[in-house]
Amino acid sequence: MEELVKGIDQNFGYQWSEIDGDIMRVYVESVRREAECPYCGSKSNQVHSVYPRKFRDLPIQGKKVEIIINNRKFFCRNPECEHKTFAERYDCLPRMARKSSRLSEAIMNTAINVSSITASKILKQGTADVGKSTICRLLKKSAKMELEIDRDKPEVVCIDDFATKKRYNYGTVMVNAQTGQIVDMLESRESEEVSQWLASFPNIKIVSRDGSQLYAKAIRTAHPGAMQVSDRFHIFKGLTDAARQFMIHLMPQRIPIASDAPAGSYWQKETRADLPERLHNASTQKRAAAVQTAIWVTAVPIQPFGCIRPENAVLTRRKNRRRAHS
């Protein structure tokens, strides 16, 4: 156990431990003779007081681990220091944190590729009892750290917009299409800014995008030689929208239905009993729903063909027009 405790922090010494259900509590102490004032850097060995501090660490043999340390407060004897006392600090534990750095790192590694709700479910199975709000807070905190982006690496990327506040604030996200990882984010979707941003990635060869002409222009300006392709989601959305409109026009306004049609809420519309067959005026919405189902049954099997150049695609004009005005 001593070795295990040293693995968390070299300055920890093992005292004792206990098991309480699925939690293992490990009591440790600091083995340092003196501590360094975090404000002025001078060293002190004069203890002011001791208080218990507990935090969570990585699990051991399926048990969640809680470390309890009698944290010491020292006097700072530097007359020029603004602080009279300071609490002892450890490399394994950020200030005020209730999780060790390595546990936070494990949580982030899980949360980075899945939603916070899924990450919470996975982590609760053995690593830590963390809710989705804790995960979001950790991710936000890490996002504030300086990100090191290898701008030479991305060659095949996908760009799309996202809303920080719907209809008001939009940003652009770039995903590496080869690895599926987010490369970078931009707090704008204006053509000029997106163009400058794209130009800072010199090796881009293929860009997948939606039907936005603003993005098309930005890509053309930043990388004239790059191939622009439509992403699968938008190509299918455009195609299904167009096919739905076309099929709705083909369908008659009034569809005769045999009087012995199966009973069901859809068919229980009031009809005149004396008619040999009732005439049912299906609403546009209901017809559209029926057409949508028919389209998806036909469209889904051709998905593996992947990307299609947007020039050949039927794209949603209304969306582009809306975006141009926003």
Contact footprint for Zn ion (CB under 5 A): 37, 39-40, 76, 78, 81
Whether the CB-CB separation of 175 and 161 falls below 8 Å is answered with no
Question: How far apart are alpha carbons 295 and 243 in whole angstroms?
Answer: 7
CA distances in angstroms from 34 to 73, 83, 158, listed in the order given: 11, 17, 54
Minimum distance from residue 323 beta carbon to Zn ion (Å):
56
The residue among 84 and 322 lying less far from Zn ion, judged by its C-beta, is 84
**Distinct helix (H) and strand (E) counts, the chain:** 9, 14
Minimum distance from residue 18 beta carbon to Zn ion (Å):
36
The residue among 78 and 213 lying less far from Zn ion, judged by its C-beta, is 78
Minimum distance from residue 124 beta carbon to Zn ion (Å):
41
The residue among 35 and 111 lying less far from Zn ion, judged by its C-beta, is 35
Minimum distance from residue 79 beta carbon to Zn ion (Å):
10
Question: How far apart are alpha carbons 100 and 11 in whole angstroms?
Answer: 14
The residue among 89 and 102 lying less far from Zn ion, judged by its C-beta, is 89
Question: How far apart are alpha carbons 233 and 313 in whole angstroms?
Answer: 12
Minimum distance from residue 33 beta carbon to Zn ion (Å):
17
Q: How far is CA 253 from the centre of its chain?
A: 45
The residue among 41 and 256 lying less far from Zn ion, judged by its C-beta, is 41
Whether the CB-CB separation of 46 and 77 falls below 8 Å is answered with yes
The residue among 79 and 276 lying less far from Zn ion, judged by its C-beta, is 79
Minimum distance from residue 72 beta carbon to Zn ion (Å):
15
Position 266: which residue type? Y
Q: How far is CA 32 from the centre of its chain?
A: 41
Position 138: which residue type? L
According to DSSP, the residues that pair with 70 across neighbouring strands are: 52
